[in-house]
Structure 1
Amino acid sequence: MAEGDSYEVLEPKPENIERAADCLQEGRLVVAPSDANMGLAVDPHDIDAIDRVYKVKQRDRSKPLTLMFHDPSDWTEYGSVPDADVMNGFVEAFWPGPLNIVVNRQDVFPDELVGGMETISLACYENPTWRAFVEHAEPIAMTSANISGEADGQLVDRGMAEEHVGEAVEYIIDGGPHETTQSTTIIDLSDTSDPSVLRQGDISVSQLNDVRDCF
């Protein structure tokens, strides 16, 4: 375990991951690895903690956080789409993995989490440290662990996370190097009759269309 000015860096051991998960559920913030950027994690039910995320990131409050969970099939607890077969096709093909899917939100989280929007971004990643963490703390909300607009197109690594948000977090879980080359792909399935790609990452439009030719 290493120490920063106001945080501790934890090796991804089971006891440390459980400790960080407990901390998150007490309303504090944790940095953890994901399938792309190091992420700033928060309890999605805790309005005060969500407020701290927006403040430390200097993030526009109209930009929602992403909701994350361990089991791909759990998406129905948090969102809905007009045609579930479309959603399930992408879930089965790419989750766990670096794909965020925007769906219509279920009314189970505060408006502050999603900027008052009627949709919510869902993710289920494959990074083993992330999976161990979210299994203890799920669901969690997450955003990249950097000041908004200052990543300059690069993935947020531990060094950037420490520099940008270290003073605001309790723990940083060291998850090792990224396996992806860019931020996650994001698709919008809130209207399955007119789906769209909001951002292309390592999962390409061609790969998406191999599952369902709709982009």
Structure 2
Amino acid sequence: MYDEVNKALETLKRGGLILYPTDTVWGIGCDASHPDAIDRIYKLKKRADSKSLICLVSDFKMLNQFVEEIPEVAYDILKYAAKPTTIIYDDPIRVAENLIAEDNSLAIRVTKDDFCTKLLRKLRRPIVSTSANISGAKTPRSFKEISPEILEGVDYVVNLHRTKKTAAPSAIIKLTKDGKVTVIRE
């Protein structure tokens, strides 16, 4: 696994795109502070750049470094969530401008996947994580369902968990600074 972490890390550091297994589905990723790489993801997915992308962080400490103020309820939601849960936070900081939604928010998930956690800790910045499909197409449930267009459009494909079925996409919750909770996807 360490060899795969290092190969993915080198790709991310030079502004490249990776295809990688996450705690939910296979994802297309890049360094969340690299605007050109983020643009490439939008183009590869044929996705409108007005539609937000999700980022992964390794732990609460990293989360605190990239969100201005985290509502206290976020910690309870994440602690007791039965499945991987992405929270949309107000006022993200230290990420590329083209990653931030028009309402000045960003979707972030604290990953529990071993590979992702190791990679994030080495990069020391969030990684974009969007499903490995063309926008509007079905989310692949396994590596073999990923289209050739996606496979050819990334710079590095992580060689782990290629035979494993993936989990469902994460739950998504919007959480405003004043503590208002809205469930976007269960």
Same-fold call, TM cutoff 0.5: yes
State the TM-score, normalizing by the size of structure 1.
0.76
**Paired residues of 1:36 and 1:155 also in contact (CA < 8 A):** no
Q: How far 1:184 sits from its partner (Å)?
A: 0.7
**Paired residues of 1:68 and 1:123 also in contact (CA < 8 A):** yes
Pair 1:183-2:169 in alignment: yes
**Alignment match of 1:132 (pick from 118, 130, 134):** 118
Aligned counterpart, 2:56: 68
1:126-173 deviation digits (Å, cap 9, x = unpaired): 12222222222232112111101111xx54421233524111112111
The structure-2 alpha-carbon separation of the partners of 1:192 and 1:199, relative to structure 1 and needing over 3 Å to count, comes to farther
**Bigger Cα Rg:** 1
**Alignment match of 2:105 (pick from 119, 123, 127):** 119
- Could you list the runs of 4 or more consecutive aligned residues of structure 1 that deviate by over 6 angstroms after TM superposition? none
**Paired residues of 1:102 and 1:120 also in contact (CA < 8 A):** yes
Pair 1:29-2:17 in alignment: yes
Percent identity reads 23
State the TM-score, normalizing by the size of structure 2.
0.87
User: Runs of 5+ in structure 2 lacking a partner?
Assistant: none
The structure-2 alpha-carbon separation of the partners of 1:114 and 1:78, relative to structure 1 and needing over 3 Å to count, comes to same
In structure 2, how many angstroms separate the alpha carbons of the residues matched to 1:54 and 1:70?
24
**Alignment match of 1:103 (pick from 71, 85, 89):** 89
Pair 1:17-2:5 in alignment: yes
Q: How far 1:192 sits from its partner (Å)?
A: 4.4
User: Runs of 5+ in structure 1 lacking a partner?
Assistant: 1-12, 201-215
In structure 2, how many angstroms separate the alpha carbons of the residues matched to 1:63 and 1:134?
24
Aligned counterpart, 1:8: none
Aligned counterpart, 1:88: 75
Number of equivalences: 183
CA RMSD of the aligned region, Å? 2.2
Q: Which amino acid aligns with 2:155?
A: E
**Paired residues of 2:142 and 2:166 also in contact (CA < 8 A):** no
**Paired residues of 1:31 and 1:145 also in contact (CA < 8 A):** yes
In structure 1, how many angstroms separate the alpha carbons of the residues matched to 2:143 and 2:157?
8
Pair 1:79-2:31 in alignment: no
